[in-house]
Amino acid sequence: MQGLIQVAGIIDQDEADMICEEGAEWLGFALRLPAKNEDLSEAEAAAIVKAIQPRHRGVLITYLTEAEEIKEFCAQLGVTAVQLHGDVAPTQLRQLRHIAPELTVLKSLVVKADNIDELVKIVDESAEWVDMYITDTFNPATGAKGATGLVHDWSISAELVRVAPKPLMLAGGLNPDNVAAAIAEVRPAAVDAHTGLEDSHGRKDRQKVRQFVSAARQAFAALTERD
Ligand SMILES: O=C(O)c1ccccc1N[C@@H]1O[C@H](COP(=O)(O)O)[C@@H](O)[C@H]1O
């Protein structure tokens, strides 16, 4: 999973095709969210996932917290990876691994100003049943935990990369202009962006996706050269 690029918040087939053409590997579909209008229907997401070619992968981004429901929804959509943004209990993560061992599970770590100890505890309690972590930014003004367009203190994500026994995807306010610096500082296995790749109409902009993928690829390559 080293050097992986995800683009989240897929809206329709054209956008999915464009993102694959520009070289991002994983496409994130945000569904069953508590307080956000969804970008597309579940049936539309399933149809796009079905058309994704094997080099790429559809990922469900959701706030669901119950293992059975997560498994069923992933099967309905046809995805083999899920990004869990809710407060999922370790018992549910264990149960999910038990009932859906084929599913790649990403657990979000929502970074606030002063919660590194809490995040390390979540890692300690969940690592056995998680394949990858994703750090994202909390917005104290709205309470939002994802797609905030805000960066967080990258030194916190860098510390989580050091302590977590599983790979980490960095997200939160990434865009073509800051992704290289973010990769150099945090040394994540993967990066993910949503709002930083949008145009003024809320659709992903091809040039921004292209520049983001290019900058991220170069920064990941530089990490390998330095090692
Ligand atoms: O993508 C969404 O719509 C979404 C909704 C709810 C929770 C998480 C969501 N996406 C994740 O948020 C990160 C960061 O977004 P941004 O780049 O700061 O806009 C995004 O990468 C998704 O993984």
Query: pLDDT for 11-49, tens place per residue?
Result: 999 999 999 999 999 999 999 988 667 889 999 999 999
Cβ(205)–Cβ(19) below 8 Å: no
Complex ipTM > 0.95: yes
Closest to 122 in 3D by CA, of 154, 156, 153, 79: 156
120 close to ligand 1 (CB < 6 Angstrom): no
How far apart are the two ends of the chain, measured CA to CA in Å?
17
Ligand 1 mean position to 117 CA, how many Å?
Answer: 23
The dihedral formed by the CA atoms of 174, 26, 91 and 147, expressed in degrees to the nearest 10: 30
SS3 216: helix
SS3 162: helix
DSSP string, 42-62: HHHHHHHHHH--TTSEEEEEE
DSSP string, 15-30: HHHHHHHTT--EEEEE
- How many whole angstroms separate alpha carbon 130 and alpha carbon 55? 22
Ligand 1 mean position to 175 CA, how many Å?
Answer: 12
Closest to 116 in 3D by CA, of 150, 145, 152, 91: 152
Predicted local distance difference test score (pLDDT) of residue 120 = 97
- How many whole angstroms separate alpha carbon 151 and alpha carbon 136? 8
Cβ(126)–Cβ(86) below 8 Å: no
Ligand 1 mean position to 29 CA, how many Å?
Answer: 10
Predicted local distance difference test score (pLDDT) of residue 36 = 62
Give me the CATH code for the 4-226 domain, please: 3.20.20.70
172 close to ligand 1 (CB < 6 Angstrom): yes
**Number of C-beta neighbours around residue 42 at 10 A:** 15
Would you write out the chain's pLDDT as a tens digit for each of its 227 residues? 799 999 999 999 999 999 999 999 999 999 998 866 788 999 999 999 999 999 999 999 999 999 999 999 999 999 999 999 999 999 999 999 999 999 999 999 999 988 999 999 999 999 999 999 999 999 999 888 888 999 999 999 999 999 999 999 999 999 999 999 999 999 999 999 999 999 999 999 999 999 999 999 999 999 988 77
DSSP string, 58-94: EEEEE----HHHHHHHHHHHT-SEEEE-S---HHHHH
- Domain ranges for the chain, please list them: 4-226
**pTM for the model:** 0.96
9 close to ligand 1 (CB < 6 Angstrom): yes
